[in-house]
Amino acid sequence: MTGPNGVGKTNLLEAIHLGAQGFSPRTRSESRLVRFGAEAARVGISGTTGSAPFEARVDIAPGTGKQVLLNGAALATGDELRGRLAALVFIPERLAVVKGGPIVRRAYLDRMLGRVFPSRSDLPPSYGRAVAQRNAALRRVRAGESGLDAVEPWTAQVAALGTELDAARCELAGLLAPGLARIAAALGLEDAAIAYNGPGLTVAELEERLDRDVERAVTGAGPHLRDASIRAGERELRSFGSQGEQRTAVLALVLAEAGLLAERRGEPPLLLLDDVFSELDTERRGALLSQLPEGGQAVITATHRPGTARPDLVVEVTPGEARAAA
């Protein structure tokens, strides 16, 4: 999609993502997705996944919740839609994966877990619920409402699920690392790497710090406190990377995940790439296009039509309208 700044290219990309994944990649406040003066918003998309056609629709009405439909059937949650349709997005807000705090990188890995390992999609929320239950038991102990025996069963669950989650995140980082290094190098960032240090969690470790956990009423060890490292050589890009290097690293991560999904599912995901050419020279623009998974579909926004783009694949965006290029 091409057009000047401010005409709505990113909004269209956001709408496609909403229709394919059930949520906006730019905001968690869904009421903001409804046009000013309107009572509701609706996004509908259609296409094929594998050889099967699909139609997805998302309706948002502030005050009454969100409705997600796939092929006319209502889904319980947007998570169910994400499990059926695969779409990845790169937008400027995604730089938080490198620039933000540990919670952003943990959330990024955990969302990816559900896409790469569907059978483990419930692992992060299950671990989160176990930690919440243990913290509630710790608060009751601190308040004198129950004894330490109320914490023990949750300690065992937190340790077991935490060890599983650490192992899954480590495996995922290991699968991503080769693609990240290759794609980042093609885009001019050498020696890019991602690593997650997850040694697992034991009951003994949690029991050793039980007095401190009771005093603070929180579980002070486990995967909910860990971080992933995104580097270029020995440099941690969060603190020692330029804006351009951080941008390249996140873009390479998205493309590495796309390649991993294509390999594991036998079909590449839909790629939604916002303004990815703006900081790349002609050679690296070509390198970026060469890294897109074969046989997949990508929607890319740009202020100007790339010289290599086929005219029949270009959509020109003007305020309130998107049409095929002349």
Mean of the pLDDT values across residues 121-148? 97
- Predicted TM-score (pTM) of this structure: 0.90
Q: Identify each DSSP E strand in the chain by its residue range.
A: 41-49, 52-61, 65-70, 73-75, 87-90, 192-196, 228-232, 235-236, 270-273, 298-300, 315-318, 321-324
Q: With residue 174 as reference, give the H or E element that holds it.
A: helix 152-186
Mean of the pLDDT values across residues 116-141? 96
Residues 4-22 pLDDT 10s:
999 999 999 999 999 999 9
Q: Taking all residues of the chain, what is their mean pLDDT, rounded to a whole number?
A: 93
Tokens of 207: 């029991």
At a CB cut-off of 8 Å and minimum separation 6, what does 142 contact?
A: 214, 215, 217
User: What is the band of 82 on the pLDDT scale with cuts at 50, 70, 90?
Assistant: confident
Q: Identify each DSSP E strand in 172-310 by its residue range.
A: 192-196, 228-232, 235-236, 270-273, 298-300
Angle between helix 152-186 and helix 282-290 axes, rounded to 10 deg: 130
Contact assessment for residue 252 and residue 88, using Cβ atoms and an 8 Å cutoff: no
* pLDDT surpasses 80 at 287: yes
φ, ψ of residue 84 to 5 degrees: the values are -100, -35
Share of the chain above pLDDT 90, in %: 75
Residues 90-112 pLDDT 10s:
998 999 999 999 999 999 999 99
Residues 144-201 pLDDT 10s:
999 999 999 999 999 999 999 999 999 999 999 999 999 999 999 999 999 999 999 9
**What pLDDT, on the 0 to 100 scale, is given for residue 63?**
85
**What pLDDT, on the 0 to 100 scale, is given for residue 283?**
87
Mean of the pLDDT values across residues 219-228? 98
**What pLDDT, on the 0 to 100 scale, is given for residue 308?**
62
Share of the chain above pLDDT 70, in %: 98
User: Residue 197 carries which DSSP code?
Assistant: -
Question: What long-range pairs does 3-9 form, CB within 8 A, spacing at least 24?
Answer: 3/303, 3/316, 3/317, 3/318, 4/303, 5/303, 7/317, 7/318, 7/319, 8/317, 8/319, 8/320, 8/322, 9/274, 9/301, 9/317
